[in-house]
Amino acid sequence: MPLTAFRDRVDIDLGDRSYPILIGTDLLGDFDAFAATPAAATALIVTNTTVAPLYLAALRNTLTARFRAVHVLELPDGEVYKDWATLNLIFDALLRHGADRKTVLFALGGGVVGDMTGFAAASYMRGVPFVQVPTTLLAQVDSSVGGKTAINHPLGKNMIGAFYQPQLVLCDLATLQTLPPRELSAGLAEVIKYGPISDMAFFDWIEANVDALVALDPAALAHAVKRSCEIKAGVVGQDERENGLRAILNFGHTFGHAIESGLGYGEWLHGEAVGCGMVMAAHLSQRLGGVDAAFVERLTRLIERAGLPIVGPALGDARYLELMRIDKKSEAGEIRFVVIDKPGSAVVRSAPDAMVREVLVQCCTA
């Protein structure tokens, strides 16, 4: 299929920090797709041991025509490596190669690679340019867009990081064709969330096309990525640093992050935890009067059809509450949740611990 048949652009409007998201097929080998990349003598591609054998050569060949030197760092793969020790490997590589303030970092991989590369770019010499080249559905529709960068701490997910925007996000849809089914499902969780919080017409479309998405249909994936990026771009453009509106993008994440932290990072994929967390958040939304039981059932069935878990692990309600109090939205020890106040609209609210416990009892294994 010709490249032009699947070339779309979504812009993040942040004044002098604005940048494009390019969505298309076979973009890794397209020199013109990297036109927004800043001029520099050197580049560092940060990737991992899973993605490198698949896509490193194509990206490196393209960048060789733009940079005098293109260096590569392969990190171990997995959420468990989203930590200080692995982050320091990026700094080691930058220093070893004599990287300067114009050196451009390229994050080739999923959310872990993107988050760590962005955090390294924000920190090295107090800020160097970077480009997101996400290769998973989750990264293309969510984590690569909007400038959130972070590493995990044993006590909380993404608690150490910075807001730092890339120069370009390049979503090559061809990379999604090699995604394992579990990784694809994890990405669908972040696609699904945009419906209840912002766009019920998109939710309807996902329901009608979830089987095509699971089957890696290129046209369905192209629409899902583009619409997801449009919604997130609109939110980030209004609230870059999550002082209000942007928090709605964390629908399902307060419960989900507790699952990830409580089980140990990597036991469940981020999207799996978010999918299950959305079920919990929907039940909480019902108890708070925002949606009815039919909506909760509808969302739960869609999450299940996407191949995601709908029953949470038995961490115990006390442990869930302990972990959720560390969430970034918490204020003065009070847990704040993203809940649906009506289908297609979300707000951030607190809820009584007793009500949250009822949700956990209903939604978790005994």
Q: Kindly indicate the confidence band of residue 7, based on its pLDDT and cuts at 50, 70 and 90.
A: confident
* Cβ contacts of 235 within 8 Å, gap of 6 or more: 198, 245, 246, 248, 249
User: Are residues 26 and 143 located together in one domain of the fold?
Assistant: yes
Q: Kindly indicate the confidence band of residue 310, based on its pLDDT and cuts at 50, 70 and 90.
A: very high
**SS3 of 327, please?**
coil
Q: Kindly indicate the confidence band of residue 330, based on its pLDDT and cuts at 50, 70 and 90.
A: confident
User: Are residues 10 and 56 located together in one domain of the fold?
Assistant: yes
User: Are residues 198 and 327 located together in one domain of the fold?
Assistant: yes
- Rounded CA separation 115/95 (Å): 20
User: Are residues 174 and 269 located together in one domain of the fold?
Assistant: no
Which helix (H) or strand (E) segment is 335 a member of? Answer: none
Please tell me the predicted confidence (pLDDT) of residue 2: 40
Q: Kindly indicate the confidence band of residue 364, based on its pLDDT and cuts at 50, 70 and 90.
A: very high
User: Are residues 240 and 272 located together in one domain of the fold?
Assistant: yes
Please tell me the predicted confidence (pLDDT) of residue 333: 79
In a domain, 23, yes or no: yes
- Rounded CA separation 142/322 (Å): 27
User: Are residues 22 and 134 located together in one domain of the fold?
Assistant: yes
In a domain, 93, yes or no: yes
Domain count, the chain: 2
Q: Kindly indicate the confidence band of residue 355, based on its pLDDT and cuts at 50, 70 and 90.
A: very high
User: Are residues 63 and 166 located together in one domain of the fold?
Assistant: yes
CB 65 within 8 A of CB 91: no
**How many other CB atoms sit within 10 Å of the CB of residue 280?**
26
- Rounded CA separation 63/43 (Å): 8
Q: Kindly indicate the confidence band of residue 365, based on its pLDDT and cuts at 50, 70 and 90.
A: confident
Which helix (H) or strand (E) segment is 135 a member of? Answer: none
Query: Active-site residue numbers?
Result: 126, 148, 190, 232, 242, 246, 250, 253, 257, 270
Model confidence over 242-272: pLDDT tens digits?
A: 888 999 999 999 999 999 999 999 999 999 9
Please tell me the predicted confidence (pLDDT) of residue 120: 98
Arithmetic mean of pLDDT, 57-69? 96
Q: What percent of the chain has pLDDT over 70?
A: 98
Please tell me the predicted confidence (pLDDT) of residue 138: 97
Residue 5 CA neighbour count, 13 Å, CB half? 6
Query: Which segment of 95-109, 111-125, 144-158 scores lowest on mean pLDDT?
Result: 144-158
Instruction: Tell which of 147, 178, 209 closes a domain.
Output: 178
User: Has residue 224 got a pLDDT over 60?
Assistant: yes
User: Are residues 107 and 229 located together in one domain of the fold?
Assistant: no
Query: Which segment of 76-90, 156-170, 321-335 scores lowest on mean pLDDT?
Result: 321-335
Instruction: Tell which of 151, 178, 205 closes a domain.
Output: 178
Model confidence over 200-222: pLDDT tens digits?
A: 999 999 999 999 999 999 999 99
Arithmetic mean of pLDDT, 133-158? 94
User: Has residue 366 got a pLDDT over 70?
Assistant: no
User: Are residues 163 and 224 located together in one domain of the fold?
Assistant: no
User: Are residues 27 and 136 located together in one domain of the fold?
Assistant: yes
Instruction: Tell which of 113, 143, 178 closes a domain.
Output: 178
**SS3 of 65, please?**
coil
In a domain, 185, yes or no: no
Q: What sign does the CA torsion over 282, 293, 196, 215 have?
A: positive
- Domain of 112, CATH number, reads 3.40.50.1970
The residue count of the chain comes to: 366
Please tell me the predicted confidence (pLDDT) of residue 155: 86
What are the C-alpha distances in Å from 212 to residues 101, 198, 215, 304? 44, 22, 5, 15
User: Are residues 145 and 198 located together in one domain of the fold?
Assistant: no
* Cβ contacts of 71 within 8 Å, gap of 6 or more: 42, 43, 44, 45, 93, 97
Please tell me the predicted confidence (pLDDT) of residue 1: 35
Question: What's the whole-model pTM score?
Answer: 0.94
User: Are residues 254 and 350 located together in one domain of the fold?
Assistant: yes
Of 245, 313, 303, 248, the closest CA to residue 275 belongs to 303
- Rounded CA separation 45/73 (Å): 6
- Average pLDDT across the chain, whole number: 95
- Which domain, by its residues, includes 319? 190-363
- Domain of 355, CATH number, reads 1.20.1090.10
Of 252, 259, 258, the closest CA to residue 274 belongs to 252
